[in-house]
């Protein structure tokens, strides 16, 4: 048998491992890209329980930390405060923290109540992608909760993204800012249509709008419903920059939803929807709530 020198073994192993991974990549290109791969299913299955536990722990630490911080602050300003007063302050802080969370949830609930015909599930964000180049995150709802691929994900402020992959108890959401993301949109008022796509930056871009069209900074961008994923007239964002381009205008849009501060989102449990009447805000249903997307009604 041929003896392989020790230092050549690692080179041979390296070559084997690289070739195996290149073949793995090639196999994925040939396969249906929407097929959930087994390795991904296992990895998410292993990691998700820890992420759920982490989310729970962080929320508890936040409450405790804010309570302790308030306590120290109070002690410095009022050295003579009695223990009972301190206890009540801590309790008060904890209640405030819970109330803030309650208000956020009430906003979501208000939005949900104002759209009784649109079945939706409220989900909590439990993790983001480990891949720094993609704009995705994971939510704590999955196949068991009726979530399916391509379902729209929104907040009362506007469109967030769509369900990209579904697992048992979790799902991966593709943000509209991801460079592979896209949705049908139009400009409110003029109703000029053009797809909106992510660029990998915090902004999105509206494409294929002719230089002859008039687009102004501050104009609202809504979903057009043409993509057959997002219902019509949901807020996408606001135009922040317009430049003439060749052959189309370069339109930068600031997303309406606060994509860098997502904690809870809503998944619309439907495939094709349309708007029947614009309006009804979440703030109507929930005091202190933020602006809401338009009313949606099921067509089918």
What value, to the nearest 5°, has the Cα angle with vertex 183 and ends 108 and 179?
100
User: Smallest gap, in angstroms, from Cβ of residue 200 to another protein?
Assistant: 9
Measured distance CA(282)–CA(110) in Å, rounded: 5
- Count of Cβ atoms closer than 10 Å to residue 24 Cβ: 11
Contact region for another protein (CB under 8 A) — 9-17, 108-116, 211-219, 221-229?
Answer: 9-17
**Which residues, numbered 11-30, are part of the site for another protein (CB under 8 A)?**
13-14, 17-18, 21-22, 24-26, 28-29
**Closest CB 38 distance from another protein, rounded Å:** 9
Residue 219 in contact with another protein, rule: CB under 8 A: no
Least gap, CB of 116 to another protein (angstroms): 31
Draw the binding track, 188-207, toward another protein (x: CB under 8 A; -: no contact): --------------------
* Span interacting with another protein, options 74-82, 129-137, 203-211, 215-223, rule CB under 8 A: 129-137
Tokens standing for 190? 């003029």
- CA–CA dist 170, 138 (Å, integer): 7
Tokens standing for residue 82:
């009695």
Alpha carbon distance 220, 156 (integer Å): 15
> What whole-number distance in Å separates Cα of residue 59 and Cα of residue 53?
10
Given 4, 43, 85, 99, the residue binding another protein (CB under 8 A):
43
Torsion over CA: 291, 221, 137, 172 (sign): positive
User: Which residues, 132 to 191, sit near another protein by CB under 8 A?
Assistant: 132-134, 136-138, 164-165, 172, 174, 178, 180
Whose Cβ is closer to another protein: residue 212's or residue 260's?
A: 260
What is the C-alpha separation between 285 and 57, in angstroms, rounded?
A: 31
When the beta carbons of 48 and 224 are compared against another protein, the nearer one is: 48
Residue 28 near residue 40, CB atoms below 8 Å: no
Can you say how many angstroms the Cα of residue 208 is from the centroid of all Cα atoms in its chain? 25
Q: Work out which of 4, 35, 54, 65 binds another protein, going by CB under 8 A.
A: 54
CA 149 from chain center: how many Å?
A: 14
Closest approach of another protein to the CB of residue 289, in Å: 23
| End-to-end CA, the chain | 70
Among 32, 77, 84, 131, which residue interacts with another protein (rule: CB under 8 A)? Answer: 131
Give the footprint of another protein on this chain (CB under 8 A): 9-10, 13-14, 17-18, 21-22, 24-26, 28-29, 37, 39-40, 42-44, 47, 50-51, 54-55, 58, 125-134, 136-138, 164-165, 172, 174, 178, 180, 260
């Amino acid at each position: 048998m041929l003896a392989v020198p020790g230092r050549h073994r690692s080179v041979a192993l390296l070559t084997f491992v690289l070739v195996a991974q290149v073949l793995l990549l090639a196999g994925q290109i040939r396969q249906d890209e929407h097929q959930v791969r087994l390795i991904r299913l296992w990895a998410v299955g292993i990691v998700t329980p820890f992420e759920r536990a982490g989310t729970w722990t962080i929320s508890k630490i936040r409450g405790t930390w804010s309570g302790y911080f308030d306590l120290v602050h109070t002690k410095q300003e009022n050295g003579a405060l009695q223990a009972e007063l301190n206890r009540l302050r801590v309790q008060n802080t904890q209640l405030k923290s819970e109330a803030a969370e309650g208000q956020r949830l009430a906003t979501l609930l208000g939005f949900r109540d104002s759209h009784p015909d649109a079945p939706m599930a409220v989900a909590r964000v439990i993790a983001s992608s480990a891949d720094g180049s993609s704009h995705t995150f994971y939510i704590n709802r999955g196949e068991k909760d009726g979530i399916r691929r391509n379902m729209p994900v929104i907040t009362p402020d506007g469109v967030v993204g769509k369900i990209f992959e579904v697992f048992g108890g979790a799902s991966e959401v593709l943000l509209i800012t991801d460079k592979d993301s896209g949705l049908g949109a139009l400009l409110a008022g003029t109703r000029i249509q053009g797809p909106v796509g992510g660029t990998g930056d915090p902004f999105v871009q509206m494409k294929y709008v002719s230089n002859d069209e008039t687009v102004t900074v501050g104009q609202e961008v809504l979903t057009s419903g043409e993509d057959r994923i997002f219902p019509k007239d949901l807020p996408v964002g606001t135009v922040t920059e317009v430049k003439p381009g060749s052959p189309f205008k370069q339109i930068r849009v600031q997303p309406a939803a606060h994509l860098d501060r997502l904690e809870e989102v809503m998944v619309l449990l439907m495939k094709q929807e349309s708007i029947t009447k614009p309006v009804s805000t979440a703030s109507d249903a929930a005091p202190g709530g933020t602006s809401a997307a338009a009313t949606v009604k099921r067509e089918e």
